[in-house]
């Protein structure tokens, strides 16, 4: 079978409430690459409509992706044999296509898969050897207060020690009450609370919210105000009632000097990195290096990829000495996902030798 590209609409088991509305499906494009041996490898090009900067429509995205593949595929075999980031052809590709981060993400997964000839272990680490696990946060989706309360109870019952609430969909007083309920039963040593605001608050309102969260010993807040308000975000980070993590603020920033300037100006306590939104694994490595040089901490988060992309993101993360709970998804969101070697047990990601379908 020759190389081929097809759309795979991932279907949510339950509608997923986000700051961009309720998702019932999510598109990923799957590219099948045939090795010289005849073996077939599959990679994923995932997007989130309304968030992924390169996506305007299915037709627009697929036309651009086909053009990208025409540029990239002739070099795949050579990139897999050496350090691809040192190739002139790789730098030419980045220069032309850096504003399509999901393209870089998908092609890098293909390079990693070629190196291992399709084996599930893309990066050897203590994690893939079964010698280490990775703590992750249990995600509570936006919904009614009753539903969010049930999600919180479910995550804690499953053994998650870090619970992350997406906020901004209902009245703040109702969301604050949920956080108060957690703290009434669990200390910060027992349960770490993170919140993700997705830019829900105005700069003046945000400071009041952060002060309230400080009283409840919340670990951090992601993107309290809309991206692009650099002066106001820098002011919030400097006052730091609780640590602030940049998320959407990083999307669409591709140039190295612009990344440095952004972090130097805002000086956040954390940045959150999503390889499919931040220039693939090479772009994520660059963000990490810059952040660490400035004393800024970070964690990785998946962005609703299928098991193909999630597998690569988790293994990539495991090559770092991870100090914080990561934001990896569980892989169990979809009715039509793929087999995976990843498993969640007691709030930690495990590598298992026998692949399974969640």
Residue-level pLDDT at 192: 98
pLDDT of residue 354: 74
Q: Long-range contact list for 171-177, CB < 8 A, 24+ apart?
A: 172/209, 174/145, 175/145, 175/148, 176/212, 177/145
The 8-class DSSP code of residue 113 comes to H
- Torsion from C-alpha of 318, 348, 263, 140, nearest 10 degrees: 150
For residue 358, count CB atoms less than 10 angstroms from its CB and return exposed for 0-12, middle for 13-18, buried for 19 or more: middle
Q: Which of 155, 161, 164, 166 is catalytic?
A: 166
Q: Does 55 score more than 70 pLDDT?
A: yes
Given the residues 239, 274, 323, 357, the one annotated as active site:
274
166 is catalytic: yes
- 170 or 269, higher pLDDT: 269
Pair of tokens at residue 190: 């027992």
Q: At 92, give phi and psi (nearest 5°).
A: -65, -40
The yes-or-no answer on residue 13 being catalytic is no
82-86, 301-305, 326-330, range with greatest mean pLDDT: 301-305
**pTM higher than 0.85:** yes
312-353 pLDDT, tens per residue?
999 999 999 999 999 998 778 999 999 999 999 999 999 998
In 117-161, DSSP assigns E strands to: 134-135, 138-140
Q: What are the structural domains, with CATH classification, of the chain?
A: 4-115 (3.30.390.10), 134-356 (3.20.20.120)
Residue 19's pLDDT is 65
**CA dist., res. 198 & res. 190, Å (int):** 26
Is residue 348 within 8 Å of 137, Cβ to Cβ?
Answer: no
Q: How far apart are CA 93 and CA 286, in angstroms?
A: 17
- The whole-chain average pLDDT of the chain stands at 95
């Amino acid at each position: 079978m020759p190389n081929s590209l097809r759309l795979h609409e991932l279907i949510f088991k339950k509608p997923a409430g986000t700051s961009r509305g309720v998702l019932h499906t999510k598109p990923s494009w799957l590219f099948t690459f045939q090795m010289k041996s005849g073996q077939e490898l599959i990679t994923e090009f995932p997007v989130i409509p309304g968030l992924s900067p390169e996506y305007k429509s299915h037709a627009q995205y697929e036309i651009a992706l086909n053009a990208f593949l025409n540029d990239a595929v002739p070099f795949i075999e050579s990139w897999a044999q050496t350090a691809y980031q040192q190739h002139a052809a790789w730098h030419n590709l980045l220069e032309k296509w850096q504003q399509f981060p999901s393209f870089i993400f998908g092609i890098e997964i293909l390079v990693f898969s070629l190196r291992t000839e399709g084996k599930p272990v893309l990066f050897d680490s203590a994690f893939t050897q079964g010698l280490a696990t990775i703590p992750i946060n249990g995600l509570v989706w936006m919904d009614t207060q009753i539903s969010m309360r049930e999600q919180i109870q479910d995550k804690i019952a499953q053994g998650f020690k870090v619970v992350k609430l997406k906020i901004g969909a209902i009245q703040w007083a109702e969301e604050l009450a949920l956080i108060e309920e957690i703290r009434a039963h669990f200390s910060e040593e027992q349960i770490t609370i993170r919140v993700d605001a997705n830019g829900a608050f105005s700069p003046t309102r945000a400071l009041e919210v952060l002060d309230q969260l400080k009283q409840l010993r919340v670990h951090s807040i992601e993107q309290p105000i809309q991206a692009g308000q650099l002066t106001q975000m820098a002011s919030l980070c400097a006052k730091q009632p609780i640590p602030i993590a940049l998320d959407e603020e990083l999307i669409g920033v591709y140039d190295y000097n612009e990344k440095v300037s952004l972090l130097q100006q805002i000086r956040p306590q954390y940045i959150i990195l999503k390889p499919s939104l931040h220039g693939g694994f090479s772009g994520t490595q660059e963000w990490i290096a810059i952040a660490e040089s400035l004393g800024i901490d970070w964690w990785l988060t998946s962005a609703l990829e299928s098991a193909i992309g999630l597998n690569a993101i988790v293994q990539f993360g495991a090559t770092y000495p991870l100090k914080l709970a990561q934001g990896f998804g569980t892989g169990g969101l979809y009715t039509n996902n793929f087999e995976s070697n990843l498993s969640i047990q007691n709030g930690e990601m495990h590598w298992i030798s026998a692949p399974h379908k969640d």
